[in-house]
Amino acid sequence: MKLTWLGHSGFLLEIEDAVILIDPWISGNPVFPADRRDEATGGATHILVTHGHGDHTGDALAIAKQKKIPVAGIYDLISHWQGTEGIEGIGFNKGGTIDLGGAKVTMVNACHSSSMGSATGPVYAGAEAGYMIAGEGHTIYVSGDTDIMADMGWMGEYHKPDIGILCAGGHFTMDMKRAAFAARKYFNFKTVIPCHYRTFPLLEQSAEALKAGLPGVQVIEPQVLEPIQL
């Protein structure tokens, strides 16, 4: 199983027979090298989005159309795109599980907001979500954009993820200290990978506080386009 950071909250996850692009925002991403776009999206079989904000959906439609691959996510957003953009979509909702190339993807709750921009301001884009992705003997918790929430208690107990991909940049989501608290209190991770940080000066630039708050846990600070073997 291999995970590659695309900057911000974007990842390329190679698991089972799937190559899943998670929240692909490449165009205009300050930390992504624009000339390596093909490298980042090559081989993708599915796209998975956590919510409607542009820093998570930015390139999803363009890639889906170019590669003719499905986009999975909250039913409201996906069904809208199917009707207006003509993409192949897999719309589901919290508590639902889908099979992406042998990987089992379950949608779970997140605590954030979800909208898309329009000429008249933000418009509803369905609810925000996270995912539990099970395959190859691991379960990965992709938090999406969220703060700490009590739901993490049952999510950790029920799904037992051993890998956490946690938003931790602060201002719009949990910061490093809050992400460490959530990981300690609600989960038993072996590995934690922070995201939604370093993109802009407004966000946290280092994961040192996360590492300090999780003794005994492997905290990996990802580097853009450098694969992580899990």
Can you tell me the mean pLDDT for 99-126? 95
Range of the domain at 18: 2-229
3-state secondary structure the chain: CEEEECCCCCEEEEECCEEEEECCCCCCCCCCCHHHHHHHHCCCCEEECCCCCHHHHCCHHHHHHHHCCCEEEEHHHHHHHHHHHCCCEEEECCCCEEEECCEEEEEEECCCCCEECCCCCCEECCCCEEEEEEECCEEEEECCCCCCCCHHHHHHHHHCCCEEEEECCCCCCCCHHHHHHHHHHHCCCCEEEEECCCCCCCCCCCCHHHHHHCCCCEECCCCCCCCEEC
Residue 16 has pLDDT above 90, yes or no: yes
Reported as a single tens digit per residue, the pLDDT across 55-86 is 999 999 999 999 999 999 999 999 999 999 99
Domain count, the chain: 1
Residue 1 has pLDDT above 90, yes or no: yes
Residue 178 has pLDDT above 90, yes or no: yes
For all residues of the chain together, what is the average pLDDT?
A: 97
**Domain with 22 in it: what CATH number?**
3.60.15.10
This prediction has a pTM of: 0.97
Choice among 39-43, 140-144, 159-163 with the minimum mean pLDDT: 39-43
Q: What is the pLDDT of residue 106?
A: 99
Confidence grade of residue 42 (pLDDT, cut at 50, 70, 90): confident
Can you tell me the mean pLDDT for 21-32? 97
